């Protein structure tokens, strides 16, 4: 089993506590009061299982497919809604290539590093790390879908690299500070858009400087803050995995704003400024709602009682009983079957590495058929409104010059 960090200032929380001090201090307060409720998600548990499979393959020189049907953290390898073989294979193959290129180097595989002499809460679990005579390699595997994590200036990667470097006396030597530190994120399940590991190259000296000038001062400031301290919460993409999101004033405010929003027929009467206020808070309201649903379900399963919610069986679609196929064929013939339809590029990508290659070769995006609204953080460029004239311009025949020679 992989040792989880269990540190409110651990590597997996770096992006959050560096940007939002409220999150750590509220978490610390709840831990001290013994009323903190730790609720894990299915996605996080599946990710832990995928990490365990990858670590076993690297340690025992096996391939992920050799573990089909085995259970890791409650999820079956290669089964629907289980651990995806192809995704873990991409991670394992990348790490193996690094090991093959550096056969004499020391390797860390799911190693938890603690450096209490530097800071009592400086702790993190390195998925894959390697120190060589030519520099440092650190690989972090992300199993989740839908939330892209970039490598450049990634606080979690820098945190783990700082741990790796500071645990090795040779790497701490200033003579090695110009050596490269190659920090890689592998996220093969990200919306089916995975094209390869993303590596950001910095230097050992830059990692140490970041740790000493940004990480440790932030950790020390939070640790020395009084228990009753309540800094202003700062919302951002680091809120995604905040353990105290339901206690966050920014999230509560956004949710309340939406809950008290005008009726649909009144919304069209709002000014642009009023609509802008609602739209700016919609992501925070959505995050609050998601955690609210998860927490209420957890409480109900644990025996809690709510006046506004109850547990119900999940909806299931009807299925055919044995013998139905023959009866349907007799009654309807070929019409009993749905027409065969090729899967979408996104579905093919999820099948295998070959599927990703074929989708990349043959899949394409046709011209957009319209405009949609997106937050300013969306990476797509802004589009201009289309007037009626521009929409129908291609349907208007070109005017031809009149021949006046005959007049």
Residues 209 and 266 in one domain: no
Residues 219 and 109 in one domain: yes
Q: Quick check: 93 pLDDT over 70? A: yes
What is the average pLDDT score of the chain?
87
Residues 102 and 44 in one domain: yes
Percent of the chain with pLDDT over 90: 54
Cβ atoms of residues 146 and 175 within 8 Å? no
Q: Quick check: 399 pLDDT over 60? A: no
Using the 3D structure, point to which of 234, 269, 301 is the last residue of a domain: 301
Handedness of CA 354, 357, 358, 359 (dihedral sign): positive
pLDDT of residue 265: 67
Q: Residue 351 domain-assigned?
A: no
The band of 392, judged by pLDDT with boundaries at 50, 70 and 90, is very low
In angstroms, the CA 244 to CA 246 distance is 6
In angstroms, the CA 170 to CA 135 distance is 11
Q: What share of the chain is helix, strand, coil (3-state, %, to 5)?
A: 45, 10, 45
Q: What digits encode the pLDDT tens for the residues 284-307? A: 999 999 999 989 998 998 899 999
pTM of structure: 0.77
pLDDT of residue 353: 73
Residues 42 and 134 in one domain: yes
Number of domains, the chain:
2
pLDDT of residue 352: 74
Q: Residue 330 domain-assigned?
A: no
Residues 64 and 200 in one domain: yes
Using the 3D structure, point to which of 159, 191, 224 is the last residue of a domain: 224
Q: Quick check: 311 pLDDT over 70? A: yes
Residues 195 and 293 in one domain: no
Percent of the chain with pLDDT over 70: 91
Q: Could you please report the per-residue DSSP string of 45-73?
A: HHHHHHHHHHHHHHHHT--GGGGTT-EET
Q: Residue 156 domain-assigned?
A: yes
- Better-scored residue on pLDDT, 378 or 280: 280
Residues 165 and 282 in one domain: no
Q: Residue 13 domain-assigned?
A: no
What would the two tokens of residue 110 be? 């799911």
Q: Quick check: 123 pLDDT over 70? A: yes
Q: Quick check: 153 pLDDT over 70? A: yes
Q: Quick check: 71 pLDDT over 80? A: yes
Highest mean pLDDT among 39-43, 91-95, 185-189, 401-405: 91-95
Q: Quick check: 100 pLDDT over 80? A: yes
Q: Residue 252 belongs to what domain range?
A: 248-301
The average pLDDT across 101-109 equals 91
Residues 219 and 252 in one domain: no
Q: Quick check: 74 pLDDT over 80? A: yes
Residues 261 and 168 in one domain: no
Residues 211 and 102 in one domain: yes
Q: Residue 277 domain-assigned?
A: yes
**Cα–chain center distance at 329:** 46
What would the two tokens of residue 335 be? 């019409």
Phi and psi at residue 126, in whole multiples of 5°?
Answer: -85, 120
pLDDT of residue 230: 84
Q: What digits encode the pLDDT tens for the residues 20-55? A: 999 999 999 998 899 888 888 888 899 999 999 999
The band of 407, judged by pLDDT with boundaries at 50, 70 and 90, is very low
Residues 141 and 103 in one domain: yes
Using the 3D structure, point to which of 224, 240, 269 is the last residue of a domain: 224
Residues 257 and 218 in one domain: no
What would the two tokens of residue 221 be? 């400031």
Q: Residue 333 domain-assigned?
A: no
The average pLDDT across 230-240 equals 89
- Better-scored residue on pLDDT, 68 or 368: 68
Q: Residue 81 domain-assigned?
A: yes
Q: Residue 320 domain-assigned?
A: no
């Amino acid at each position: 089993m992989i040792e989880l960090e269990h540190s409110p200032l651990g590597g997996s929380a770096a992006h959050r506590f560096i940007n939002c001090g409220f999150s750590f201090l509220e978490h610390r307060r709840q831990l001290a009061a013994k009323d903190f409720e730790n609720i894990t998600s299915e996605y996080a548990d599946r990710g832990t299982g995928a990490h365990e499979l990858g670590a076993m393959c690297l340690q025992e020189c096996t391939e992920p497919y050799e573990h089909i049907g085995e259970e890791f953290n409650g999820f079956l390898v290669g089964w629907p809604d289980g651990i995806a073989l192809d995704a873990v294979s991409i991670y394992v193959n990348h790490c193996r290539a690094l090991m093959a290129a550096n056969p004499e180097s020391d390797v860390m595989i799911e190693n938890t590093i603690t450096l209490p002499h530097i800071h009592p809460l400086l702790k993190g679990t390195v998925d894959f790390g390697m120190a060589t005579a030519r520099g440092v390699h650190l690989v972090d595997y992300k199993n989740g879908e839908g939330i892209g994590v970039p490598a450049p200036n990634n606080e979690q990667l820098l945190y783990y690299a700082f741990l790796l470097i500071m645990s090795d006396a040779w790497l701490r030597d200033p003579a090695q500070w110009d050596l490269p530190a190659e920090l890689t994120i592998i996220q093969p399940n990200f919306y089916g858009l995975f094209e390869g590991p993303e590596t950001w190259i910095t230097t050992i000296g830059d990692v140490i400087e970041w740790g000493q000038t940004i990480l440790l001062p932030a950790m020390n400031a939070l640790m020395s803050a009084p228990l009753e301290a309540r800094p202003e919460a700062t919302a951002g993409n680091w809120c995604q995995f905040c353990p105290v999101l339901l206690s966050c004033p920014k999230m509560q405010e956004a949710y309340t704003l939406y809950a008290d929003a005008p009726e649909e027929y009144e919304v069209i009467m709002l000014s642009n400024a009023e609509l802008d206020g609602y739209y700016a808070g919609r992501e925070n309201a959505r995050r609050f709602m998601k955690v609210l649903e998860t927490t209420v379900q957890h409480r109900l399963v644990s025996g809690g009682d709510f006046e506004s919610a109850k547990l119900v069986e999940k909806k299931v679609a009807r299925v055919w009983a044995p013998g139905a196929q023959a009866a349907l064929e007799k009654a309807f013939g070929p019409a009993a079957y749905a027409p065969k339809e090729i899967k979408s590029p996104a579905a093919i990508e999820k099948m295998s590495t070959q599927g990703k290659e074929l989708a990349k070769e043959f899949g394409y995006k046709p011209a957009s058929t319209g405009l949609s609204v997106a937050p300013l953080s969306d990476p797509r460029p802004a589009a201009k409104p289309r007037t009626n004239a521009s929409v129908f311009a291609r349907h208007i025949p070109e005017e031809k010059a009149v021949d006046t020679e005959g007049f």
